[in-house]
Amino acid sequence: MKIQFLSRIRYQAWLRPILWPLAQLYGLITFFRNVAYERAWLKSHVSDIPLVCIGNINAGGSGKTPHTELIAAYLYEVLGPVAILSRGYGRQSRGFHLAKPSDSPAILGDEAHMLNAKLPFIPLAVCEDRLKGIQQLQALHPEIKAVVMDDGFQHRRVRSHWNIVLSDYGKPFFDDALLPLGELREYKSAYRRADMIIFTKCPPSIRLYDRKYYGGRIADFPSERILYSSLIHLDPIFMEPFEQIALSPEGHYLLVTGIANTDLLCEHLNNNGLIYKHLAYADHVDYTQNVLTEIKCAFANLHSPIRAILTTEKDFVKLASNPMFFVQNHIPLAYIPIEIDFQERDRKQLEVHMNNFAEKCRERF
């Protein structure tokens, strides 16, 4: 079974002397690259259409996609036509592609496919070259007033008008180390390029003490631009034609995931007293026939008349692309939706910033 191997070995003590010099070399490369952009030795293009970048400093699992969904939907309501641009990580296609309703995760990538399904009224494109992607989006949709870019904080060839950096509350960037020793994509001081920092996956009732601690670790960053969001797990949604039923502590479940961090999902299942076995695959896993066979065997070993496979929405879009596998093998498949939530003070602050950005966009048109 292909598990998230690198994320497990990085913190083995005996590997640190080997990974440390590699991390220093990687850090120097990213440092000189950033200097080259700061001093205009490398050209950074300013888009003529307002651009929001939702990115991170440490790799994986910070919640970029649901925050992109939230911000794009809000801007659509207050501003009008907007678009989403994603790299389309894990897709099998190449170059620029404007999403269609019939596109599969293989064409768009799992995260972009999920955004396309949930926000069908917002044009979405995937492209490795962000500058080309923005230009193509404008040509195909001249009515758009802003572009929301899912990931791209390190893509400095394009200069965003509003940079939002996300960081997992449980693994804050200021306590991380550079790749491959840790998960930092560049030196932690890169947060100073951001216009807003959102610590994600926070406890629903984050304490004032914790806010002061996190803010104190980046004390030179304006406190009104540091926000905190929580992740809420909702009731499962079963793939048709399976019956929509509540999960039961008497049932046995198979949790199948291919995401960077499953801690909060497992905590949610544990808090609900559920019995489950977990197959944790690498982020953006390709659910090949061999993987599906492995899942089928693991499901057959569940010892309860109440059984189902549980997964994330991101994994569901790939698993459900082969519906007959689950129907013919009588394997109920359900995903557990998530929702981004802010405490009232953070929600109001975010809305102020989004409204200010929308007002600046209107001034350009």
Domain of residue 156, CATH code: 3.40.50.300
Answer yes or no: do 73 and 166 share one domain.
yes
- Which residue's structure tokens are 């794009």? 72
Nearest to 298 by CA among 312, 323, 280: 280
Answer yes or no: do 239 and 227 share one domain.
no
Q: Is there a domain that residue 133 lies in?
A: yes
Considering its fold, how many domains does the chain have in total? 2
Report pTM.
0.92
Q: Is there a domain that residue 29 lies in?
A: no
Nearest to 238 by CA among 288, 309, 321: 309
Helices and strands, counts by H and E, the chain: 12, 16
CA 262 to chain centre: 13
Answer yes or no: do 215 and 261 share one domain.
no
Q: How far apart are CA 69 and CA 127, in angstroms?
A: 18
What is the full per-residue pLDDT of the chain (365 aa) written as tens digits? 333 444 444 556 778 888 999 999 999 999 999 999 999 999 999 888 999 999 999 987 899 999 999 999 999 999 999 999 999 988 989 999 999 999 999 999 999 999 999 999 999 999 999 999 999 999 999 999 999 999 989 999 999 999 999 999 999 999 999 999 999 999 999 999 999 999 999 998 899 999 999 999 999 999 999 999 999 999 999 999 999 999 999 999 999 999 988 999 999 999 999 999 999 999 889 999 999 999 999 999 999 999 999 999 999 999 999 999 999 999 999 999 999 999 999 999 999 999 999 999 998 76
Q: Is there a domain that residue 203 lies in?
A: yes
Torsions phi, psi of 300, nearest 5? -65, -20
**Enclosing domain of residue 296:** 235-336
Q: Is there a domain that residue 316 lies in?
A: yes
Answer yes or no: do 194 and 54 share one domain.
yes
